[in-house]
Amino acid sequence: MNSTGFVWHEKYMWHETGNALGVLPVSGDFQPWVHFENAETKRRLKNLMDAYGFTQKLKSIDPSPATVEQICSVHTSEYVAQIKALSADKGGNAGESAPFGPGSYEIALLAAGGVISAGDAILEGEVKNAYALVRPCGHHAEADRGRGFCIFSNVAIAAKELLKRDDINRIAVVDWDVHHGNGTESAFYDDPTVLTISLHEDSLYPYNTGMIQDTGEGEGDGFNINVPLPPGSGGGAYRSTFESIVIPALDLFKPDMILVANGLDASTWDPLGHMMLLSHHYRSMTQLLVEAAEAHCDGRLLIVHEGGYSAGYVPFCGIAIMEALSGEDSGVVDPFAKHESIWQDLQDNQSAAIQAAAQIGLFKLANQLDKKV
């Protein structure tokens, strides 16, 4: 068994986010413009997979909707009821910058449930690892409010559920979305059974979270690592972060499963981030996690789609990740990858930021686990 699972549902593309210039409905003050978070980025990834015959090289996993009980492992029942009521009417805003139209409640349940379905397929041995191309995204959503285009915290909800399964006692979440994974962090801030690691652009969004000093609290202190990277970081900075922090942390923690909050908005062509990753950098990071998963947890690796707003470039990053996951070749050649410069190599200010994060985050994890880095 060496197959890679793939979660997709057409309804994910029917989640409506409206106009980028205001919450639903369109105000009339400015020429309408499609919201940054729209179906096109993800749909173009699926279309590219289909066009190159890559989709059938993966094992399709049908998503089941998450139950309200599963959602409430992370969110308050009041918040869930509020989203359900708004969705049954005209839609609305789940909190801060999280607009949605009618019917998005059921779609959001299917997104969180799709991640759980993928996790179960891995644990039941149907697939070795999986990619969940779900929408809406999840990693900013907090217990009682949606934030940053996210309604339900897909990765956190799935992690809570998978921890109930036999043999899964500790999970590591690696979040390389260009924005801080505040929602996932908050779901496990006092929980030593889930190691959360977020690589993100320093002080991008949310504005005052994701600091290196935020290492967790109570029993969870030491089990949250933030790596805020300077704007302009490229493949060199991300590789250095993996070598200096991510892989050593996984080696210390020894997870039973690795989940990835996969934001493709750290790409060099993303309109909402200021990083410089190319598709082959995402491929390399995935390969390192495939190897870490092999070393620690029989290859159990679940990659969950989060942000990524360059409709032209997201597809190339996404398919590169899936190639590394599956070992299958799509035949796609990234037409943008030739645009690499020395600025994508590790710079001194980036190296200093990574070492600062390592000295706090990695050392604290090691101390908590009573080992030496």
Could you tell me which stretch among 49-57, 93-101, 261-269, 283-291 binds Zn ion (CB under 5 A)? 261-269
Distance between CA atoms of residues 292 and 159, nearest Å: 18
Closer residue to Zn ion (CB): 131 or 309? 309
The verdict on 307 binding Zn ion (CB under 5 A) reads: yes
Least distance from C-beta 75 to Zn ion, angstroms?
Answer: 20
Distance between CA atoms of residues 311 and 284, nearest Å: 22
Q: Binding to Zn ion (CB under 5 A): which residues in 145-184?
A: 177, 179
* For the chain, the helix, strand and coil percentages under 3-state DSSP, each to the nearest 5: 40, 15, 45
Closer residue to Zn ion (CB): 122 or 277? 277
Least distance from C-beta 145 to Zn ion, angstroms?
Answer: 17
Closer residue to Zn ion (CB): 162 or 276? 276
Q: Which of 35, 140, 200, 296 does the annotation list as catalytic?
A: 140
Is 140 an annotated catalytic residue?
Answer: yes
Which residues lie closer than 8 Å to 310 by C-beta, 6 or more apart? 41, 264, 265, 267, 269, 270, 271
Asked if residue 3 lies in contact with residue 9, where contact means CB atoms within 8 angstroms, the answer is no
Name the DSSP class of 372. -
Per-residue binding string, Zn ion, 262-301, x by CB under 5 A, is -x-x------------------------------------
Alpha helix (H) residue ranges in 68-103: 68-71, 77-88
**Distance of alpha carbon 161 from the chain centroid:** 17
The verdict on 200 binding Zn ion (CB under 5 A) reads: no
Could you tell me which stretch among 76-84, 257-265, 322-330, 346-354 binds Zn ion (CB under 5 A)? 257-265
Least distance from C-beta 221 to Zn ion, angstroms?
Answer: 26
Alpha helix (H) residue ranges in 9-58: 39-51
Q: Which residues bind Zn ion (CB under 5 A)?
A: 177, 179, 263, 265, 307
Catalytic residues: 140
